[in-house]
Each structure stands twice: as structure tokens, then as C-alpha cells.
Structure 1
Amino acid sequence: MQRTVEEYGLLPAGTHVLAACSGGADSVALVRLLSRLSAQGRWRLSVGHVHHGLRTSADSDAALVAELARRLQLPFFLRRLEGLGGANLEARARTARYAALAEMAREAGAQAVATGHTLDDQAETVLLRLLRGTGVAGLSGIRPIRPLAPGVTVVRPLLWCRRQALRDFLSQEGEAWREDETNLDPRYARNRVRARLMPILVAENPRLPEALAHLAEVVREEEAVWAEWVGQTLRRLARPAEGGWTVPLQEFLDLPAGLQRRVLRELAGNLPTVSFVHVEEARRLLRSGQAGQELVLPGGARVRRESGSFWVGTPGEASSLEPVPLPVPGRAWVPDLGLVVEARLEPRSESEPRGRWEAELDERYGTRDLVVRRRQPGDRIRLGVGTRKLQDLLVDLRVPRWERDRLPLVATGDGEVLWVVGYRVADAARPAPDAVRCLRLRAWPLEAAATLEAGGADGILGEQLPVGRGGPGRVSEGQEAIR
């Protein structure tokens, strides 16, 4: 496990991590192992348990985890979920579980939530997706690290550990765990793969779980390259508009077909319900449709062809948007605009900012209160020696009427407009020609944030999270898998 943590940079020194513990063997082993390293002063550790209230043994599960935390002298957090019965239970329970973990992480002051996913879980996930039909990205399986909520990531330190090795470890330590009887329920596809299909395949290749996990690792690394390419393309072409994004049509059609598909998926929110067939229908509309024609995708996203451009998003009236604080350094997550804006004080680059998604401001704004908001009546922007009405500038820039009230702005708390995202930086806010430092602003679609942040692409974010190189923990038998 330690090798996995170091290889992927999952838990930097000083991190406060909340270990998600169900009471099962994998998560109990996770707590025990993280506790060992926590005792060395590497990070702070708390334990969180989600009580789903769906099984008669749920109270006993919670009691075991609470006792484990007490014995290890770790802070313990508990959330009880209500009203989970009904259709699509598995998916709704998972969504509610991660929301509860995010709440507990915020309460604990934790920056990471660790889960007990193992190499066996990874292999089963890849196999399930193959059976159901998936694109290349689906073969990347379970990611070692991904965003959960602003300021909180999910990490999987056991992703290169075998399930049996963890049970062997607990047995040697004399540590008890709970067995989840739902893991034997054949109504769930994962259980059928685990109990019926995997044993048949492993009989042909005993190293199949490792092979599938290695496949996921390779695909994930290559997907990081794709994510960077897609991110650079989005930053260059897409502008926030009308609750979605507008893109120049001919520049999009000049892209390779594979890149077109990925850009469309990203703009549509990367919904799993949007299949290859739906993306191809959208591409046909953009190639040969007429202005004004629209395609509705599963999940509610729409693709509308316009004259010289196209729009992807979810229609609706512009809702009132309260200004969202933009810390320096830090990020403003603006779901209402589908946007993330980042601000950092950095050395000034010799070249101009890269595309419409990036801007450089004078470093003095790094000490001001900044916000992301929509335009407001009376907004003006400093251009040259005077100011202009923002409304007049947008007309001159030929910004469509329906887009003007939905454009994101970066402004000071007292109303000075600094950046009309995607269009113009206020002249008075620009750094001096001889400035060596600046306040660099970057913006990108909210849907792309998780993909790029977890995938390590620096095309938009300007930072790179570690990605594996060939996979840590290749030895996965007995204690060696968890040391």
C-alpha cells in the first residue's frame, strides 16, 4: 500500500485523510494500514462510516467500526442515510454514500477520503464494462485518485493489493471484520462476475486479475494524454453560453474524428447514457444539418447547429447567480455557469496567455477580494484611458444577445470588472510590460475539471497529478502486497 500511495502521490505529507470503513475486510485493513503510517507522522487519520439502514446487520457493522476507531484512538464520524428504498437502489446508495463521505470529510477537516477498493475490484470493474460494452475510456476502470468535492479527493491506496492478501493480513493481526451478505446476492451483476465468471477465466489464466488491472493502468495513462488534448481544444474553441458552450463550427469540423467525439462528450457532460450512436448523430447534424436544427441527447443535453457555430448544453432561463468568491491561490467552482476558475500568482510568461481560457492580471489583484459572477446593470470595463459600458463592448464583439447575461466575469468585490471570460481583459488590469509576476487566471468547463484533475492533464490546469508508470505493487501475494 505504501508503494501505491507514493507512486500516485495520493497522500502528501500533512494530509488529513478520512478512511471510509464499512466494516468489511478490505476497509478494516485500510484503516489498520493507514493507522500504522499515520503513527509515523505522515498524515492525520479519521474514520468515517455510512449507515445505509438497508440490512439488519447495519447496526453491528457501525458498532464494529466505532470500536476499531476507539481502539486505535482515531476520531470517528457516522452518517445515517434515510429513504434509500425503491428502484435503482445500488446507484442511489452509491451517490448518497459519497455525498455522506464528503460531508464527514468537511466536518473532520480532511482533504482526502480513502476507500478500500482492491486489485480484485479493479479487475471486476474492467470485466463488467467489457461485458456491458464500453469505449476505450471505460477500460481505465477505477481511478486511484479523483475529485469528490471542492477541496476533497477520493484516494484508493489498496488498488494494487489482492483481496485475499488483505484477509491474510487481518487474520495474522487477529483483527475481526464483517461479511456483507449482499455480496452473495446473484441479482447484482458484479456478484455474478465475481462468483461465476471470474473463477472460469482465472482457471485459464491465474494472473488474469493482474492483467486486467494492468490494462486499466495503461488505458488510464493514455487517457491522460487524450484529456490534455481535449482540454487544450476546449480552451481554444469553446465559450460559455446560454447554460452551455458555443463552438466555431468549421474549426470543430477540421478536428480529427476521434477528437470531435471526445469534445462533444465533454461538452455534453460525459454522461454514461450518451452512447457512441448518439455522438455520431450529433456529428452528422454538425456536418450536414441546417442552422436551427437541434438534437436532444439522453440526460437532457442538447446540440444545436447555428450559423457558423454550434451550441451544446442544457436550455433554461438564466438563474440568479450570487457572486462566487475566487481565492488567491485557489479555485471558484461555479456549477450555475458550468465553470471552474483558478487564480494563482505566478512568474509572468514570455508569451501571451494561451487562448481565451487564460488571462494575466497585474499581481496587485492577488491581494484583492475577487469574485466570479454574471454581468450586472451598469457594469463598465476600463479600456484605454476611460471606461465603456460592458453592454456596448459585448455588442461590438458580436456576442449574441442570449449569451450576454450568461457570460462569466471575474471582478473585484467592489465591482471592478477585470476579465470577461473568453473575450476581454480590462486594460487597467493588465500587468506592466516589465512585470516579472502576474495573477494568472484560468477557466475550464466544470465537466472537464474532474477528468483533467484526476487524469493529470496540465493543458488547462497548469499542474500535474502523478500518474503511475507501469503500476506499483506488481507483487501481490501475502504481506508483500500491503507493505
Structure 2
Amino acid sequence: MDIDRDTVARFARGLDALAGGVPQRLGLAVSGGPDSLALLLLAHAAWPDRVEAATVDHGLRPESRDEALYVGEICAGLSCPHSILPVAVAEGGAGLQAEARWARYQALGQWAAQKGLDAVATAHHADDQAETLLMRLRRGAGVAGLSGIRAVRREGDLLILRPLLGWAKAELVEIVRKAGVEPIDDPSNRDPRFDRTETRALLARTPWLEPAPLARSAAALAEAEEALEWMATRFWQERAVRDGDTLTLDPSGLPPELARRLLARALAAFGAAPPRGEELSRLLAALGRGETATLAGVKCTGGAPWRIAPAPPRRAARPWDETTGR
């Protein structure tokens, strides 16, 4: 399972830059598809004594257990420790893929904590990034959403690294082919029920929609998002003042996007769940007109400055009096 030295060096440099140094113990999420098998082969070739793999068994297909065992056999051939993490995927309102994702990262986080791993790497690549960007463009996402898949992210206490975002899927498939490893074919990747499957088909039949430039755009937008968040933090420190149950916020002279971010932080300061984009836009417009509006249990009053406080409890309705009809 030898891999070209230059290819391994490229991977090692990328992960080193991503993590600010190679983690002492690195976990790998390996499903058995060509992407995650390439991640396994590259990481093991670079640091054979530092990596450990896990396969999450979602139990959504009859073959999933055998596929997890197959990954274990490949890991055994590399002398790489491997764990199978069975999860139960709830049928919630977020959709099957979203629920599976939540269960997957919960399991990986527990596994990483038990094993004392510094981080867990996943095999998301440039084609995944391009698909994500197109899907979010279709939904009208803002800068944060169009940033796509983050190269470094935290899910609770779990540090997630995506060292393959600059790699094309074709490159990863070729690494696995040359290593003589047979990847698992997951039919859910072709299931038309999922938006990502449709987007993948669109990319395949549209030659001018090249994944690499789209992925670079997502990376540029991620840098823009980081800059906007840095500025929002600075203005929050300068312009938000809390006195007991009331927070005053001065948005004067700020571009709408920064005012939006400060307003979202103000709502979060009172425990409000993150509002949908349209809700936040309507609230922002109302405050700009000097009006008062309530969202997620928080009362917001426009003017100079804005005043934000918990909304008073709603008055209970009087019981109906059958005698008076009132």
C-alpha cells in the first residue's frame, strides 16, 4: 500500500498548516468509501504511530455492519487501531441525513474523548465543498453559509480537521486504486431523495461548473466570514452595554451586515435560539424604522441606541363567563 512520497508530503504539509502542528494522536473517520480510505492511507503513511480510525455504523442499511468490519480488516493490515461505533439515527424533523450527521459526530466525539485523541479528521474534499456551495446558493445563504465546509471546526468538545478540502475526488480515488484497495460503494450517494445527490449530478453533467474553482470561492468566503466575525466582536465590545436585564446597542454608521451580526449576538445574550435569516432581516428593518418588535421572547426597541430586553410575559386570557357572554 505504498503511496508516492510527494503525495504524502503534500498531505503532511496541509495538515500541519491546518492544525498548527501535527496532533500527537489523530483520529480518522473512515466509512470505507474511496475518500475516507485515501485519508486513512495518507495519514498512516505520514504518521503510522499517531493515527487511529473509527467507522460509524448508522444501521441504515443491512450491509453497514459488514462494511464496518471490512474497514477494520484494512486497518488491521496497516496495524492501525480501529473501532466500530454503532449509532441509532432518530427520524427527526431535520431530515435523515442531518440526523445521521448529528449522531455520527456525537459518537466520534465520545470515541475521541475515550481514546485521548487531539482531533478527528474527516475526508471532505473539493468536490464536497463545491456541492455544498451550490446547495447553499440555491437556498439563498449569506456569507456564513456560503463559506461551505470549514477546514477546522468544533462540534462541542470535538476538534474536527478537514485536510482534504484542497484535493479533488479523482485524486483520492486514484490513491486508493494504486494502493490496490477496493472501496465500498454506498448506494445512498446516488439516492435521488437527497439534495446533495441532485447537486452532484448537476456538477457531473455541467463541465463548466468545475469543483476546484468553486471550492476556492468557498475558501475565500470562509476568510471573509472570519474577517466579519472579527469585526463584529470588536464592535460588540465597543457598542454593546448591558445593565441588568437591558442591553443597549449602538448600530450607528455600521453596514447592515455588521448590524445584523450584532443584533444576532444581542438575541443570543438573552438565550434566544438563532433566528432564521428572514426573521432577523425583518427585525433589523423594524429597528431601523425606530419600531419595537419581539422575537424569540426578546423585546427589541429601535432608536438611538437600540434597547434589547426580555419580553414581558404574556397576559393570561380571562376565562369565558357564560352568564355575561364576556
Output the TM-score relative to the length of structure 2. 0.82
> Structure 1 residues 13 and 258, CA, compared in 2 at 3 Å: closer, same or farther?
closer
The aligned counterpart of 2:59 is 53
**Which letter maps to 2:69?**
A
The 3-state SS of whatever aligns with 1:252 is coil
The aligned counterpart of 1:149 is 156
CA contact (8 A) 1:19 1:30 kept: yes
Q: Which has the higher contact order (CA 8 A, sep 6+)?
A: 1
The aligned counterpart of 1:209 is 211
Deviation of 1:117 after TM superposition, in Å, equals 0.3
Deviation of 1:199 after TM superposition, in Å, equals 2.3
Output the TM-score relative to the length of structure 1. 0.57
Q: How does 1:40-189 map to 2 (within 5 A)?
A: 44-85=50-91, 87=93, 88-150=95-157, 152-189=158-195
Cα distance in structure 1, aligned partners of 2:103 and 2:312: 27
Deviation of 1:17 after TM superposition, in Å, equals 1.2
Q: Greater strand share, 1 or 2?
A: 1
CA contact (8 A) 2:289 2:302 kept: no
**Which letter maps to 2:19?**
L
Deviation of 1:28 after TM superposition, in Å, equals 1.1
CA contact (8 A) 1:295 1:303 kept: yes
Q: How does 1:233-382 map to 2 (within 5 A)?
A: 233-238=235-240, 247-249=247-249, 251-268=250-267, 274-275=276-277, 277-289=278-290, 293-296=292-295, 300=296, 302-305=298-301, 309-311=306-308
The aligned counterpart of 2:12 is 2
Deviation of 1:13 after TM superposition, in Å, equals 3.2
Q: How does 1:224-235 map to 2 (within 5 A)?
A: 224-235=226-237
The aligned counterpart of 1:481 is none
The 3-state SS of whatever aligns with 1:62 is helix
Cα distance in structure 1, aligned partners of 2:72 and 2:91: 25
> Structure 1 residues 75 and 267, CA, compared in 2 at 3 Å: closer, same or farther?
farther
Cα distance in structure 2, aligned partners of 1:119 and 1:241: 47
Cα distance in structure 1, aligned partners of 2:241 and 2:122: 36
CA contact (8 A) 1:268 1:301 kept: no
Q: Greater helix share, 1 or 2?
A: 2
**Which letter maps to 1:190?**
R
Deviations 1:362-389 (A, max 9, x none): xxxxxxxxxxxxxxxxxxxxxxxxxxxx
Deviations 1:207-230 (A, max 9, x none): x21110111111111222111101
Deviation of 1:78 after TM superposition, in Å, equals 2.5
Matched, 1:15 2:24: yes
Cα distance in structure 1, aligned partners of 2:39 and 2:298: 43
Cα distance in structure 1, aligned partners of 2:256 and 2:31: 44
> Structure 1 residues 76 and 315, CA, compared in 2 at 3 Å: closer, same or farther?
farther
Cα distance in structure 1, aligned partners of 2:83 and 2:214: 35
CA contact (8 A) 2:59 2:86 kept: yes
> Structure 1 residues 229 and 185, CA, compared in 2 at 3 Å: closer, same or farther?
same
Runs of 4+ in structure 1 deviating by more than 6 angstroms, as ranges, are 312-316
Q: How does 1:392-431 map to 2 (within 5 A)?
A: none
**Which letter maps to 1:248?**
T
CA RMSD for the aligned pairs? Answer: 2.8
The aligned counterpart of 2:8 is none
CA contact (8 A) 1:246 1:309 kept: no
Deviations 1:96-138 (A, max 9, x none): 1111111111011012110000110011111111122111232
CA contact (8 A) 1:286 1:310 kept: no
Give the percent of matched residue pairs that are identical in Structure 1 and Structure 2: 31
